[in-house]
Amino acid sequence: MSFFGFDTTLPRDRQQQSSGRGMFEQHDPFAGLGQAEGGDDGEMLNFEDTYDGLGRNLDESGDTFNDDTFGGDEPVTRQSVGKDFDFAGQTARAMDQHGPQYGRAQAQHAPPPKPTRTGYEAYKEPEYIPKLEADASIWGRPMGRKPTAAGGEQHGRTDSSAGKKMMSLEEVEAMLRAQAKPIPPAMSENERQAQGLRDMLGVASPPINPQQQPPPSEQPRPVQILQRPQHTTRPEPVIQHPTPEHHLGASQVLQGRYSPQPPRPQSRDFHAQPPPQHVHHQQQPQMPVQPPRGPMQHLAHQRGPSYSGPPITQAQQMMQMSAPDREAYMAEEAKRAKRNHKIFLLSKNNGLMTPQDKNFITRIQLQQLLTATGGVDNEPGSEEQLAEDFYYQVYAQIRGPPRSSSGNVGNGPSQFAQTYLFQTGSRYGYGRSRHHPRGGDNHVQRMEQQVARAVEAAKARPKNKQLVVEGSLGKIAFSNSKTPRPLLNLKRPDSEAKMRQPVKPAAVFDRKVALRDIEKMYTVLMRLEDHERKLPPPPNEESSPEVIEGHMRWRSEMQLLNQQLWEALKVMEPIQANPTSPHPFIQILSHSKGKKAIPRVFRHLDDQQRLTMLTLIVIHLDQLDVIRDAYPSLDNSTPLPPRVREEIEIFTQAVMPPLFSYVNEAPLNIIIGLLGLVMDRVHVQGIVRTKVGVSVLTMLVSRAELVKQAQQPAQPSPQQQEDWSQWAHLYNRLFDTVEPVLPYIFPPPSASTTTSSASTLDSQASDDVHVWQFLAAMGVGASPDQQQRLVLGVKEKVMETVGAAKALPETEAEVKDRRLGEVNLFMRAIGLDVELLG
């Protein structure tokens, strides 16, 4: 007999014990592990095998009076509490005489001695307090091994666990299932008994009644307390509905009367043990089984909802199930086990943090979020916020306007919260939506509220950076990471007034001045672009006055910035008659970053400004670095330096397209005016030998031709007729100017020129396409006489190019086609085709 789960039986007793095993033993799921498969089915895990025997070496000398104190070796539940009142002292003494042997034998072979004892004691002494012990016979095991069933698990973990390693939930379940099948009959004995009793009673589901639970403080019967709680609930229906006519009722009533303690299940079982009941519960299998199974649901585990059948606590029930049912049940069980394991894994750290802890962390995070995004000190959409969080702001704009119709780009706290909690929200939403659809929402809502509150609190902070406490002499200055407390308060000098002074007189050409101009222009340009991003939604009829006013403010600001940009461009600087240095705008254009700014600037200029800019460029065409530095050498042999070529490339890619798009929509008189300026102020014979110069001329001439063709069918007005005659005159002038240099307008061979014809042609292909375009533009508008002269001028080049292209091997077919196509551009313009050349 031991409290600590040691097997106190001696090896010699173990033989008997194994033969006298009861259902409880069978029920032990853990035992199955230690058991050899299909071997000795009665043998549980052999304790002796795992026990190192140290306990035997203990000094047992001090326990001489143990028997006196604890009532001998008999089960604890059998100790004679009321020895003084025990008038059946004879029996007790006789029992004592039997000594430990009796106790153990009684424990192992309970059925034989039991009937005599119970009948005798209970009926002989009316004042006898029934010993509501758990009789070992019911369990068929020595009581001493029971305390380890402490968990009171449904599955009846018993003593044998002491010698075993801990098992995971899955292992236990798997073993349970494995064990449930082979030995169901023995295992279900207990169950059958209970079921039989209920069957006989015809009692409906036994509701669990907490009051009926026995107080756990009963010291004489700790073992009972430690027993499976399901048994404590099971008898309750009997107690609640005492049915006198039932034979069981008698003992129950009796027990209830005599016992000062609440009736214990074991004791009832013990009393129910007499033969008549035994018979009944043997008969049980013939009785209808179905009714009692329903009630059992209350006793069982709460199972997953998908298994519709009655919950199963005993293997016997499983046996009664049909195969598919069992199959489903097994699958369900497995799923449940898996889920339980997962829950276990997930909940490993559950409860580590208190709600206060979580709140605290959340608050820290929110605070950081607010600080990281510039927070509330900055107006939404303001410069500061944009500077703090530029990429997010731009991204938000790209993604679309805010959902609500408020005028501002940023909608303050709520949008902020939504944005930054978006991911968190979705995560919780996903994870919980299956089981608690509203849980996630609530969480996000809570977070949003918290953010809103945090923002409010931050706003409530004093806005000004100083606080003057009344009555005090000093001031308290606030500082944070964004705006550190100023230690020095220096008045910023009026930088504009100071800086302007030295710059003005030094109007001489200076590279640094140009660079400064460019930086200034970029500064204004970026401000303008920033401002453009802040475009408020267009006001409509319902707009509030504030919105309209804001829009007006935005427009006036835009206008101001535009004016500043225009000034920064220096286009309107006076053109000197005899310039010692290029015009400032032309200087800006002489840097690649200046060129790159043009398409960005061009968007913001109105038509008049564009025309002015174009005019300025046209007037100073020969001063542009891309023309000035691009004149080919006299002998047409040395290629342009790579730096110049690069600049030309940038110019044609950055500056030409906006100019071209403007010219493409310009009326004829503007073209005439521009071309006239070119003719008057620029050395055309020079610029026509440069790529940019040719491109500008092509641009103007081709636009004029297009306008002319579009207007052809209509009846020309006097104004138009005047324009046309003017244009014709201008064209003739241009033709006469260009004609002498026609043989030289083709660019020199590029730097990569080699003797290999293929590579030469290839690299030249992109080099002289603009020349062919120019020739084509000229050819379209030319009179037959002029066409003749045109062909004569470039005849050599045409023949050479066509010949070289046709000599190309088939592998270079692509280059060949392109070359011929370029020549054809011109040939077709004058009504010819390369094919005609044979």
Residues that bind other proteins in the complex, under the rule CB under 8 A: 383, 387, 495-496, 499-500, 503, 511-512, 515-516, 518-520, 522-524, 526-527, 561, 564, 567-568, 591-593, 596
**Which residue, 568 or 621, is less far from other proteins as judged by CB?**
568
- CB closer to other proteins out of 348 and 492: 492
Q: Which amino acid is at 460?
A: A
Q: Which among 746, 830, 742 is positioned nearest to 794, based on CA atoms?
A: 742
Please calculate the CA angle 713-719-723 and round it to the nearest 5 degrees: 80
User: Measured from the CB atom, is 278 or 520 closer to other proteins?
Assistant: 520
Which single residue is written with the structure tokens 């799921």? Answer: 29
Q: Which residues neighbour 809 within 8 Å (Cβ) at sequence distance 6 or greater? A: 758
Shortest Å, Cβ 485 to other proteins? 20
7, 376, 484, 697 from 50: Cα distances, Å: 11, 70, 72, 105
Q: Cβ 633 to other proteins, closest distance in Å?
A: 22
Distance CA 256, CA 235 (A): 12
Residue 507 Cβ vs other proteins, minimum distance, rounded to whole Å: 15
Instruction: Please state, in angstroms and rounded to a whole number, the distance separating the CA atoms of residues 53 and 58.
Output: 10
Minimum CB separation of residue 535 from other proteins in Å reads 19
For other proteins, which is the closer residue by CB, 290 or 489? Answer: 489
Smallest CA-to-CA distance from 281 within 201, 196, 202 is with 196
Instruction: Decide whether 25 or 517 has the Cβ nearer to other proteins.
Output: 517
Q: How far is CA 18 from CA 23, 44, 109, 140, 142, in A?
A: 12, 8, 11, 10, 11
Which of 399/492 has CB closer to other proteins? 492
Nearer to other proteins by Cβ, of 67 and 567: the residue is 567
Its sign, for the CA torsion 169, 170, 176, 177, is positive
Q: How far is CA 461 from the centre of its chain?
A: 34
Residues 479 and 468 sit within 8 Å (Cβ to Cβ): no
Q: Which residues contact 381 (CB under 8 A, 6 or more apart)?
A: 393, 408, 409, 410, 534
Closest to 101 in 3D by CA, of 16, 22, 185, 5: 16
In whole angstroms, give the CA distance from residue 806 to residue 757: 11
DSSP string, 615-654: HHHHHTGGGSHHHHTTPPPTTS-SPPPHHHHHHHHHIIII
Taking the complex as a whole, how short is the minimal distance between the CB of residue 608 and other proteins, in angstroms?
21
d(CA 101, CA 107): 10
Dihedral sign computed on CA atoms, order 627, 629, 634, 637: negative
With residue 342 as reference, give the H or E element that holds it.
helix 323-346
14 vs 465, beta carbon nearer other proteins: 465
Task: Name the minimum Å distance from CB 409 to other proteins.
Answer: 18
Largest Cα separation within the chain, whole Å, is 153
Least Å distance, CB 751 to other proteins, is: 16
468 or 499: whose CB is closer to other proteins? 499
Which amino acid belongs to residue 525?
Answer: L
Residue closer to other proteins (CB basis): 394 or 792: 394
Q: How far is the CB of 511 from other proteins (least distance, A)?
A: 7
- Smallest distance from the beta carbon of 383 to other proteins, in angstroms? 6
Is residue 531 a contact partner of residue 564, using CB atoms and an 8 Å limit?
no
Nearer CB in complex with other proteins: 64/495: 495
Distances (CA, A) of 111 to 11, 102, 255, 275, 574: 22, 13, 21, 11, 126
Q: Answer for the pair 199, 275: CB distance below 8 angstroms, yes or no.
A: no
Report the amino acid identity of residue 154.
Q
What minimum distance in Å lies between the beta carbon of 555 and other proteins?
17
Minimum CB distance to other proteins smaller for 441 or for 567: 567
Taking the complex as a whole, the smallest distance from the CB of residue 354 to other proteins amounts, in Å, to: 45
d(CA 585, CA 789) in angstroms, rounded, equals 38
| Least spacing, CB of residue 585 vs other proteins, in Å | 17
Radius of gyration of the chain (CA): 52
- Going by C-alpha positions, the residue among 756, 762, 776 that lies closest to residue 819 is 762
Q: Kindly list the distances between the CA atom of residue 610 and the CA atoms of 245, 601, 603, 659, 746, in Å, as whole numbers in the listed order.
A: 113, 10, 9, 8, 31
Q: Where are the beta strands (DSSP E) in 102-239?
A: none
Compare residues 517 and 768 and give the one whose CB is closer to other proteins: 517
For other proteins, give the closer residue by CB, 67 or 573: 573
The distance of closest approach from Cβ of residue 373 to other proteins in the complex, given in angstroms and rounded to an integer, is 18
Q: Which is nearer to other proteins, 394 or 813 (CB)?
A: 394
Shortest Å distance, C-beta 530 to other proteins? 9
352 residue type, one letter: L
* Closest alpha carbon to 113 in 71, 74, 70: 74
Comparing CB distances to other proteins, the nearer of 519 and 796 is 519
Which residues face 477 on adjacent strands?
Answer: 466
8-state DSSP, 42: T
Amino acid letter for position 513: V
Q: What is the closest distance, in whole angstroms, from the C-beta atom of residue 514 to other proteins in the complex?
A: 9
Query: And the tokens for 36?
Result: 């050899």
Please state the closest distance from residue 499 (CB atom) to other proteins, in A. Answer: 4
Closest distance to other proteins from the beta carbon of 575 (Å): 23
Nearer to other proteins, 215 or 502 (CB): 502
Q: 409 and 397 in contact (C-beta within 8 Å)?
A: yes
